[in-house]
Amino acid sequence: MAEIVELGRRAMRSLSGKFDEVAVMVTSKNYVMVKLWNSEPSIVQSWIGSDVGLYLARDRRVFELEVSVSNIEDILKVAEEIYRYSDKVKESELYAPLPKPQGYESLKGTVDSGVLKYMENPRPLAERMISASLDEGVDRVAGVLKLGVARKALVISTGFEGFEEGTEVEAYLRAFKGEYSGHWAYGSRHVDIGRVEEVGRKAGELAVKAGRKAGFTPGRYDVVLSPLVVGNLMNYVAFMASALHIIMGFSMFMKRAIGDRVGSEAFTLIDEPRNVELSGSASFDDEGVQTFNKPIISRGVLAGLLHNSKTAAKMKASTTGNAGWISPHPWNIEIAPGDYGEEEMVRELGRGVIITNNWYTRLQNYAEGIFSTVSRDAALLVEGGEVVGQVGRVRVADR
């Protein structure tokens, strides 16, 4: 803790006389990654690195930079060059002073001793994931297990100083049965052996279900989307709630007002920075404002946008603890759960398609929310409430 905080203080002292506002973000990361290939751990990699980010403001002109450095002098030299040419840059149309420090409540339980233990020897955890998948009867598996700990210090010329740290684990596995595959994933700040094994088991189960080809005609179908697919699509929705994206015209909410209906009454989307189970959790944002959980969409109604001090000033609102120095952003997103389990959804689907994984998501029209994405791994046809086989790769398009 002391080392990266002092690094931030040193940069602050060097730059505060030249710029009106200075913010220094120092992050230190230590990660271990196991790559899995042909049903066994193949490579174990580890790396340690530090990044320094700077926010600099002078006469309403704003600069941001981030570099990986081993010597603080390197980034200070870059900042000196910025100072020399800063008067040649136009004033920011969105400039607002950084907020005065109000203090923050640190999150508890963000460091898991289990993650730290498995960082020393991650192979047993990886092997449990592999075994769970092979037990489903698949031919082979491949994937990645990553464990790490990150520390962050923020020092701002307003007087704010903050520090936090957290562990994280990510597990991805693809199981193969003949020419077909299934994929599953898990991420958290804490190691849950059962959930890691579930990654293998679920990937294997999907690969087996995809092992027979079903006749399929392109058309309009009801679909069930897995958490992996919903997570990908809802990331786009949450980022469109960034006030800067609305100002720039890259949001389907730009023609909407708070309180407008934008979805089903059954749908609630929440930004949850203070959920310590999730690796995006944070005690404070990049402007030193304490974070808090908040709905973006509540029961189908647009409930709030995500602001930093700049967008809040522009839109006559209040910052929401979601600051990036340029663009506000969500931390973690959660969808309030419904009443149906997986098997019930398949039965209720009747005839349709289950999309378990996707890639190549594209927005054809941001303002209207028109998108397309392509299925990957198991895409399953359901008839009569039962899975009848794999439909192959399909493109999903809607708004």
- Output the tens digit of pLDDT for each of the chain's 399 residues: 678 999 899 999 999 999 999 999 999 999 999 999 999 999 999 999 999 999 999 999 999 998 887 677 888 888 888 999 999 999 999 999 999 999 999 999 999 999 999 999 999 999 999 999 999 999 999 999 999 999 999 999 999 999 999 999 999 999 999 999 999 999 999 999 999 999 999 999 999 999 888 988 989 999 999 999 999 999 999 999 999 999 999 999 999 999 999 999 999 999 999 999 999 999 999 999 999 999 999 999 999 999 999 999 999 999 999 999 999 999 999 998 888 998 899 999 999 999 999 999 999 999 999 999 999 999 999 999 999 999 999 999 987
Candidate CATH numbers 3.40.50.11540, 3.30.2290.10, 3.40.50.2020, 3.40.50.620; the one for domain 2-209: 3.30.2290.10
Spans of all domains in the chain: 2-209, 222-398
pLDDT of residue 118: 98
CA separation (Å) from 266 to 58, 301, 335, 337, 370? 47, 10, 10, 9, 21
For tokens 């969808």, the residue is 335
DSSP string, 131-179: HHHHTTT-SEEEEEEEEEEEEEEEEETTS-EEEEEEEEEEEEEEEEETT
pLDDT of residue 338: 87
> How far is it, in rounded angstroms, from Cα 388 to Cα 297?
35
- Who's near 361: CB < 8 A, 6+ residues apart? 232, 233, 236, 371, 372, 373
pLDDT of residue 226: 96
**Token pair for 86:** 């800063």
Find the largest Cα–Cα distance for the chain: 72
pLDDT of residue 73: 81
Q: Please say whether the beta carbons of 214 and 392 come within 8 A.
A: no
Give this prediction's pTM.
Answer: 0.94
CA separation (Å) from 97 to 12, 23, 132, 231, 354? 17, 12, 53, 34, 49
- The gap from C-alpha 335 to its chain's centroid, in whole angstroms, comes to 14
Q: Please say whether the beta carbons of 298 and 316 come within 8 A.
A: no
pLDDT of residue 1: 67
